[in-house]
Amino acid sequence: MSRDLLVIDKVTKRFGGLKAVGGDAGLSFSVPEGTFLGLIGPNGAGKSTTFNLISGVLKPTSGAVILDGKDLSTARASEIASYGLGRTFQTPRAFPSLTVLENVMVGADNEGETLLSVLRGGWKARERALRDKATEVLRRVGLTERINDVVANLSGGELRMLEVARQLVRDPKILLLDEPTAGVDPSLQAKLSRILVDLHAEGRTLVVVEHNLHFLLQIADSVVVLQHGELLSKGTPSEIKADEKVIAAYLGADHAA
């Protein structure tokens, strides 16, 4: 069994008097390295709040979020990215007037680039290496043919793939995707699902928040179901499909077979 890369430990989040996540006892689950966890729940269940707690945008009211042994509850947002967490946003954030390739290149970490290396022409080698890496991640997300197009010309689905590429180029230890199927037509959803399966097969650790339960049940290793901010169920996709509580709350009786 692989070690837990991400641990959500008795986390609660309140907004004023509202218990958005965790109720009184707190929400707990963990994500072993190399696994693919899906986080689902109906509107208002606390998915986005949980996602923002994991990515450090929100701090828990109580409890802790531990990534690779580091407590994110006390870290600054800029530190969290350096701990190896990559995340996409529901609204893609690419630069519209740059090309697809340029967007991925500017998203990469420029660590190691010093004034001396620039003066010595080291940047040329670095730029070549970065270009090669960006080209490779764009191939993996199926955007090779769009590489020199400006981002303003991409479809909604292609923009989501670009967001994934912008994170992958940084080699995150864990990749969090926020509603990747939102606004994506069914044919691109199938492509997206294959891309996620491939990333998982490469050993990446993935956490995907989705409304679209059926999308996740086909590809995730395990699923956490939230309801009213609390854990309704967690298990493998087959366990989730058979769980009476999930069927009653989310799937409806016609999915019970």
Ligand X SMILES: Nc1ncnc2c1ncn2[C@@H]1O[C@H](COP(=O)(O)OP(=O)(O)OP(=O)(O)O)[C@@H](O)[C@H]1O
Question: Quick one: which segment of 3-11, 12-20, 59-67, 240-248 binds ligand X (CB under 6 A)?
Answer: 12-20
Residue 107 binds to ligand X (criterion: CB under 6 A): no
Rounded to 5 degrees, φ, ψ at 104 are -75, -40
Q: Are 6 and 180 in contact (CB under 8 A)?
A: no
List the interface residues with ligand X, window 121-150 (CB under 6 A). none
Binds ligand X by CB under 6 A, chosen from 1, 17, 43, 111: 43
Residue 41 binds to ligand X (criterion: CB under 6 A): yes
Across 41-102, where does the E strand assignment appear? 62-67, 70-71, 85-87
Q: Which two tokens stand for residue 111?
A: 């660590």
Residue 47 binds to ligand X (criterion: CB under 6 A): yes
Q: Which two tokens stand for residue 86?
A: 């990559």
Q: Are 32 and 84 in contact (CB under 8 A)?
A: no
Site string for ligand X, 174-213 (x = CB under 6 A): -------------------------------------x--
Half-sphere exposure of 205 (CA within 13 A, CB side): 19
Residue 227 binds to ligand X (criterion: CB under 6 A): no
Binds ligand X by CB under 6 A, chosen from 1, 18, 115, 253: 18
Q: What is the DSSP letter of 91?
A: S
Q: How far apart, in whole angstroms, are the C-alpha atoms of residue 253 and residue 167? A: 39
Q: How many residues bind ligand X (CB under 6 A)?
A: 12
Q: What's the min distance (Å) between Cβ of 179 and ligand X?
A: 8
Question: Quick one: which segment of 13-21, 24-32, 104-112, 113-121 binds ligand X (CB under 6 A)?
Answer: 13-21
Question: Quick one: which segment of 4-12, 23-31, 39-47, 67-75 binds ligand X (CB under 6 A)?
Answer: 39-47
Question: Quick one: which segment of 44-52, 74-82, 126-134, 237-245 binds ligand X (CB under 6 A)?
Answer: 44-52
Q: How far apart, in whole angstroms, are the C-alpha atoms of residue 162 and residue 127? A: 19
Residue 45 binds to ligand X (criterion: CB under 6 A): yes
- Beta carbon nearer to ligand X, 126 or 211: 211
Token look-up 């989040």 returns: 13
Using alpha carbons, list the distances in angstroms from residue 134 to 117, 167, 168, 170.
21, 10, 9, 10
Contacting residues toward ligand X, per CB under 6 A: 15, 18, 20, 41, 43-49, 211
